[in-house]
Amino acid sequence: MATALTREAGNRWPSAVPETQTAPSRPRYLISDLCTYLERYLPPEQVREVYRAYLFGAEAHQGQKRLSGEPYICHPVAVARILAEMRLDYRCLMAAILHDVIEDTSTAKEKLAEEFGEEVAEMVDGVSKLAKIDAQTHTEAQAENFRKMMLAMTRDIRVILIKLADRLHNMRTLGVMRPDKRRRIARETLEIYAPIALRLGINSIRLELEDLGMQSYYPWRYRVLSDCLKRLRGHRKELVNGIEESIRNRLSQESIECEVSGREKHICSLYRKMKEKHVPLSEVADVFAFRILVKDVDTCYRVLGAMHGLYKPVPGRFKDYIAIPKANGYQSLHTVLVGPHGQHIEVQIRTHEMHQVAEEGIAAHWHYKTGDEQFPPSAAMEWVRSLLEVQKGSGTSVEFLEHVKVDLFPDEVYVFTPQGQIKVLPKGATVVDFAYAIHSDVGNQCVAARVEKRLVPLRTPLRNGQTVEILTKEEARPNPAWLDFVVTGKARAAIRAYLKSLKEEEAAELGGRLLERELERYGASLHYIDIDRMDKVLAQLKVESLWNLLVDIGLGNRMAKLVAGALLAREPAEEEKDSKGQLTIRGTEGLVVKFGKCCRPIPGDPVIAIFHPGKGLVVHHQSCPNVLDDRRAEAEWLDVQWEKKIEGEFPTAIDVTVSNKRGMLATIASAIASMGSNIDDIRSEERDGSTSSLHLVISVRDRKHLAAILRRLRAIPEVIRIVRDLGR
């Protein structure tokens, strides 16, 4: 193989591709430049191995060209150069140079393993697309290849690093593609690969992928924003230099050695903020950004104090990512200050090591490696390993891809276990997501949760800094209704995996045991239920047979305690037969459902149901004090939801404070009547001689109807205050 190559005069590393260009115009993808660069941090024998992989790849790709017309081998060398700048190990660089030989040539994986070892062959195979895929659409084929790559990544993280470098070089050379293909690749980059780079903490690659992706997917928007930023940069240059000089002088007075630099605003992030906040460019770009690098953590906090002494901090805009790092390992102090002319100044303070991790993420761990050490544990690696659990619960590759996309959202919530451990979840994550983040078994068996020592419904979204305790029972199992509100891919996949694992026979057996256990609480048994009563309940629940009912219970589609209540409930008295209360709560057909008179919930309210043996289900507003009392007494309580379409009117209570004026009661009553509502009850109480308090029970259709009534009442000049009475 090597005899086919020619050694050029004065060139230490001969090339299979003619190197006719001269510096400085020579591109960086030439093998001689790559090997010279590698000599900075790799021993000579490892550089020779990389060069040997290059010779093999050059021969395998002999005669192949890219759309740009250059020899194909230039692309793998460029990919290796990107990874070399991240100082990755020589086997990863060999795999990068060979990453297309299985996919685009006749070379087999076994041949690579024989030549370069199993480790390199596995990495190349992980990046390669599947040769034959039984897929109906292009989307399914792409998803299947993505799943293959991500699962290979869980075995060796370097697989995704090679893929990110491959995608980055492809994006740099995207201009030769057709416009439609260019937009498709750019969109895939923005939706998948840039977020993966962010999730792994590789900020340098993430920013360039976003920038190149936006250039190709939104070319006109990118050009307009770029031109505007250039003009703004020119107008503000002196001001930025002045602030930077002030920061340096202040830190010099404190005898702090540091590096201070202005931080360019990223066009893609500016565009994202404009869309999210619905504001013009001038508002999101009118922030000066600076970065300060110091030698150690203690100095970071000293610099923070100096900055807060130099300029006033903006309340609520300080974030300590050193004490609580982000999920991708990012650490820094962030603060926003008010500058000398009233403008906001963003300052990031971190050590040099933190900056290296912020730019290169998991790849930063290779900077000082020369041996064959395994990759060290990190939060990013925990996410990678969690993909295996997501895979188990995903039926198709498209489903797996959607689950992974959910976990790639950058917004995060930091919550604590009772032992003080930090769990990082996506924004909007619920108690159930937290349970599955601890362990799949904890998620499968969770029945309740305490947030800040207070019981909350399982669908409760979590906020930063909360402490969450999960309550479990061994016999508990996931509920399909959880899929309506969980947001993490791990939780969604685990719930689906558990439900799929239950066969129909097992589900029926489990459903029978659950129903018998509930009936035993009333001293009854399934064998002694009257046949007519059973037929009536089956008809009400729209179930063909008892077998199907037990399967539904076992699969979690119906709650055993509700079915038991329906089978044993006596016919309600005439005064209890209220059509409003029979089909308003989802999944309670056949049960007596009442609404708490303490809080008077209406459609649209967040509700919870307390199950009382012999009484049925009593629905309360989640904020009702009686709910908290019943929970403390360990009453049977359930998360419930309103039906989508509800007809009828519901009573609710409001307290109205008005000025004492003749005819006020008639004015209030007239306003309520004009909004299509009736007053069911009214009580008045004079307060200080000038005002009165009216307690009204009115009929409304739902929360929207109530809101319209309240707006109408607030428009009356004499109305001072209106609040809804939830039984407090």
Q: Which residues are catalytic?
A: 103-104
> Distance between CA atoms of 707 and 715, rounded to whole angstroms?
13
> Distance between CA atoms of 628 and 347, rounded to whole angstroms?
45
Q: Answer whether 528's CB lies under 8 Å from 519's CB.
A: no
> Distance between CA atoms of 565 and 66, rounded to whole angstroms?
71
Query: How far is C-alpha 146 from the chain's CA centre?
Result: 19
Q: Which residues pair with 430 in a beta bridge?
A: 461
CA atoms within 13 A on the CB side of 211: 13
> Distance between CA atoms of 713 and 698, rounded to whole angstroms?
13
Going by C-alpha positions, the residue among 680, 699, 686 that lies closest to residue 657 is 686
> Distance between CA atoms of 672 and 680, rounded to whole angstroms?
11
Going by C-alpha positions, the residue among 284, 267, 264 that lies closest to residue 226 is 267
Q: Which residues pair with 659 in a beta bridge?
A: 691
> Distance between CA atoms of 210 and 679, rounded to whole angstroms?
58
Positive or negative CA dihedral for 103, 104, 106, 111? negative
Phi first, then psi, for residue 719 (nearest 5°) are: -80, 120
- Cβ neighbours of residue 631 closer than 8 Å, sequence gap 6 or more: 455, 637
Quote the tokens at residue 178: 């057709």
> Distance between CA atoms of 84 and 63, rounded to whole angstroms?
26
Q: Got the DSSP string for 117-131?
A: -HHHHHHHHHHSPPS
Q: Which residues pair with 349 in a beta bridge?
A: 292, 333
Altogether, the residues listed in the chain come to a count of 728
Q: In b/e form, how buried is each residue of 666-693, taking b as 16+ CB within 10 angstroms?
A: ebbbebbeebebeeeeeeeeeeeeeebe
- Cβ neighbours of residue 9 closer than 8 Å, sequence gap 6 or more: none
Give all strands of the β-sheet with 593-595 in edge-to-edge order.
593-595, 616-621, 607-612, 636-639
